[in-house]
Chain A
Amino acid sequence: MSTQDKVKINKLPTGIPGLDEIVGGGLPEFSFNIIAGAPGSGKTTMAHQFVFANATPERPALYFTVLGESAIKMLRYQQQYTFFDPVKLPGSIRFINLSQVVLEKDLGAVLEEITKEVEKSNPAVVVVDSFRTMVRKPQSDMDLQSFIQRLALFLASWQATTFLIGEYAEDELRDNPIFTVADGLFWLRQAAERNSIVRKLQIIKLRGQDSVPGLHTFRITDAGVQAFSRTFGLTGHIKNPPSQRRISFGIAELDNMLGGGVREGDSVLVAGSSGTGKSVLATEFIAEGIREGEPGIVAVFEERPQAYAERAASLGMDLVTPQKDGKLTILYLRPLDLSVDETMHSILDAVQKIGAKRLVIDSLAGFEMALSPGFRADFRESLYRMIFALTGMGVTILSTVEVDESFTEFPFSTYSISFLCDDIIRLRYVSIDGQLRKIMVVIKMRGGNHAKDIREYEITSKGVVILGKRLTNYQGLISGIPTHLDRPEAAEESAREVKIEPGA
């Protein structure tokens, strides 16, 4: 069958930020859906968001309440959410209580009552909350199956998109006929991870269109449910071909070391121990971008935006004006208990909002610490997805990472995330002539040649200043305890100095 012969299934907005992307563009019109999950998992709120997004006076929504939460309480609490528009009640959204029928009569009478109301109102949306309580009486399987079949058939025939809400356990998935009949099955979970609550959403099935598989984080705020797609809403984006353009750090010597600058769309890792100037380098990278007309985002986790801007000012970089001009956003993402996906969504939103071309994540260690413990296991995977998505859009990412300084090893990163990076710049301390000095080396550049030089640098009031030429008179610089080729005995002295440092 050709594409033009196929029936086009309209997609309705879910009214839940992030969920349209997850369900493949919107909820299929006239579908018969189940929202399942434990008490407090957000089922009713989710249904309300869908109802408020789709109900109109011409095609209203019917919200059938059964023995669960009373309508008065439901309305009392739900109106606290920002999506709740009281003007829509009762013209566009009608609440109908079926408790009496359910308590006093059988499923046939319930179906009859629903049928009567649907035929009277011609609704676009029907919700039954909670469906579980409606079928709580002992029924034979056939009764229940027949009821569900007839209900689904009737509501689809009346062109209603339906949500049945129920408190189901996952082990009921196999045997309950309702899950067979349903076109869409939304499962909400919440689990305690140490001291945090982690909420996840899964589309177990959705007939007629591709949904994003897997577990998606969601949060309930005063705006209702917000879902965070594992693909960050970038499913439809076409990956840009790798750019050959080189972009500058604003430090001529470093650009030379990088073979003319960082390749646009690369992911750059700046690794070094505390105080080596990772953040300074990152700030210079972002400031140079702004000078070149490339908007930037700085995601900070270890200091507040104001402090970050003040520190930049002390190095001669103005980060205040570009923030006012909409060329720079400094995101402070310190609040604990964030999920990795929602943190990354915050970054992505900021990137898309100002059309950022450069992004600094300062630092990956701070980023990981800001996450709820339960989400830290997903950190590397999610970071990989975000970096892949953003660099595909042509955004150049610079991440800083703190590494334990060792005078016997030269690790690139304690997070084993080097594979996420196209380019790695390593900063480290080195003991030379009785001083703790700093050296810089470009370890890797995926996109081309780079200098192999080990260069000494200082952090001055003008930022990172690379000194002189490469250090040629020393051996073992990357060990941190080099030997001066003309004065080999100096190495032993340095080693003694370094050994006493940890206990000092």
Chain B
Amino acid sequence: MTATPGMRDLVHRLLTYEAGAGKTSEPMESPALYVYEKLRQSLGESVGVAGFKSLATRALTLARQDLPCLSTARIAEDGSLQGLSEIETQIDVDKNQTGEGEIILIARLLGLLRTFLGEALTLSLLRNAWPDEAFDDRYSTDGRKA
């Protein structure tokens, strides 16, 4: 099973939001990495560092099924994502694929959250990290317009 289109849409939406936010502040190296970090901070508070690391490691394992070259990426003890920049260089031949590895990983992470907590609670947690975004009135995590 691959990352669902709905989850990927949701991740793209978060990336768009962060990219937009980046225009007014300092240039952002990777919006996807920024989204991942924001999730790490936000979820880490409630599930703990170890809890987030377990989820992220599982998400990475699942993401490798979609993108085998993620095999060199790893989740550090504090839950941060490492070893991705080399992979991105490798897969970003086409510039449209920028951040594909992170997108799949984040989509898998959100998919796991939905599996464990359900749609409503997953969106609630996202709302905590992105309070300005009204996720549930435009999207649901399985890709359907709400």
**Which residues of A does B touch, CB under 8 Å?**
65, 70-73, 75-76, 79, 86-87, 89-91, 94-100
Which of chain B's residues has its CB closest to A87's CB? Answer: B124
Once the chains bind, are B117 and A75 in contact (CB under 8 Å)?
yes
Q: Is the interface of B mostly helix, strand, loop or mixed?
A: helix
Residues from chain A with a CB closer than 8 A to the CB of B118 are 76, 79, 86
Most buried by A among B48, B50, B127: B48
- A71-B51, A72-B116 known; A97-B121 Cβ under 8 A: no
- A79-B118, A79-B121, A90-B124 known; A72-B50 Cβ under 8 A: no
Contacting A at CB under 8 A, from B32-62, are: 44-51, 55
B16 at interface (Cβ–Cβ under 8 A)?
no
Once the chains bind, are A89 and B45 in contact (CB under 8 Å)?
no
B91 at interface (Cβ–Cβ under 8 A)?
no
A96 and B55 alpha carbons, distance in the complex (Å): 16
| Min distance, Cβ A116 to any Cβ of chain B, angstroms | 12
Once the chains bind, are A76 and B116 in contact (CB under 8 Å)?
yes
Once the chains bind, are A71 and B47 in contact (CB under 8 Å)?
yes
Residues from chain B with a CB closer than 8 A to the CB of A71 are 46-48, 51
- Of B47, B48, B121, which is within 8 A of A86 by CB? B121
Tally of contact residues, B, Cβ under 8 A: 18
Once the chains bind, are A90 and B46 in contact (CB under 8 Å)?
yes
A466 and B49 alpha carbons, distance in the complex (Å): 81
A231 and B44 alpha carbons, distance in the complex (Å): 45
| Min distance, Cβ B134 to any Cβ of chain A, angstroms | 13
B76 at interface (Cβ–Cβ under 8 A)?
no
- Of B48, B50, B117, which is within 8 A of A79 by CB? B117
Residues from chain B with a CB closer than 8 A to the CB of A75 are 116-117, 121
Once the chains bind, are A100 and B128 in contact (CB under 8 Å)?
no
- A86-B121, A90-B124 known; A96-B116 Cβ under 8 A: no
| Min distance, Cβ A432 to any Cβ of chain B, angstroms | 72
- Sample (11) of A-B pairs whose CB atoms are under 8 Å apart: A71-B47, A76-B116, A79-B118, A79-B120, A86-B120, A89-B125, A90-B46, A90-B128, A94-B46, A97-B51, A99-B51
Once the chains bind, are B124 and A72 in contact (CB under 8 Å)?
no
Which of chain A's residues has its CB closest to B50's CB? Answer: A99
- Of A65, A87, A89, A90, which is within 8 A of B48 by CB? A65
Residues from chain B with a CB closer than 8 A to the CB of A89 are 121, 124-125, 128
| Min distance, Cβ A490 to any Cβ of chain B, angstroms | 79
| Min distance, Cβ A109 to any Cβ of chain B, angstroms | 15
Once the chains bind, are B121 and A100 in contact (CB under 8 Å)?
no
| Min distance, Cβ B38 to any Cβ of chain A, angstroms | 14
Once the chains bind, are B117 and A90 in contact (CB under 8 Å)?
no
Once the chains bind, are A70 and B124 in contact (CB under 8 Å)?
no
Interface string of B101-130 (1 = CB under 8 A from A): 000000000000000111011001101100
- A72-B117, A79-B117 known; A97-B124 Cβ under 8 A: no
- A65-B48, A97-B47 known; A72-B128 Cβ under 8 A: no
| Min distance, Cβ A149 to any Cβ of chain B, angstroms | 27
A87 and B125 alpha carbons, distance in the complex (Å): 10
Which of chain A's residues has its CB closest to B126's CB? Answer: A90
* Additional A-B contact list (19), CB under 8 Å, known A71-B51, A72-B51, A95-B46: A70-B48, A72-B47, A72-B117, A73-B116, A75-B117, A79-B118, A79-B120, A86-B118, A87-B120, A89-B128, A90-B46, A90-B125, A94-B46, A95-B45, A97-B45, A97-B47, A98-B48, A99-B50, A99-B51
Q: Which 5 A-B pairs have the closest CB atoms?
A: A97-B48, A95-B46, A86-B120, A90-B128, A89-B124
A94 and B117 alpha carbons, distance in the complex (Å): 15
Once the chains bind, are B47 and A70 in contact (CB under 8 Å)?
yes
| Min distance, Cβ B19 to any Cβ of chain A, angstroms | 25
| Min distance, Cβ A461 to any Cβ of chain B, angstroms | 58
A98 and B49 alpha carbons, distance in the complex (Å): 9
Residues from chain B with a CB closer than 8 A to the CB of A91 are 127-128
- Of A65, A86, A100, which is within 8 A of B124 by CB? A86
Once the chains bind, are A100 and B117 in contact (CB under 8 Å)?
no
Residues from chain A with a CB closer than 8 A to the CB of B51 are 70-72, 97, 99
Once the chains bind, are A100 and B48 in contact (CB under 8 Å)?
yes
Residues from chain A with a CB closer than 8 A to the CB of B127 are 90-91
- A96-B45, A100-B48, A100-B49 known; A72-B55 Cβ under 8 A: yes
A76 and B47 alpha carbons, distance in the complex (Å): 12
Residues from chain A with a CB closer than 8 A to the CB of B55 are 72
Which of chain B's residues has its CB closest to A88's CB? Answer: B124
Residues from chain A with a CB closer than 8 A to the CB of B128 are 89-91
Residues from chain B with a CB closer than 8 A to the CB of A73 are 116
A372 and B121 alpha carbons, distance in the complex (Å): 38
A87 and B137 alpha carbons, distance in the complex (Å): 13
| Min distance, Cβ A30 to any Cβ of chain B, angstroms | 25
| Min distance, Cβ A125 to any Cβ of chain B, angstroms | 16
A38 and B51 alpha carbons, distance in the complex (Å): 25
A71 and B46 alpha carbons, distance in the complex (Å): 7
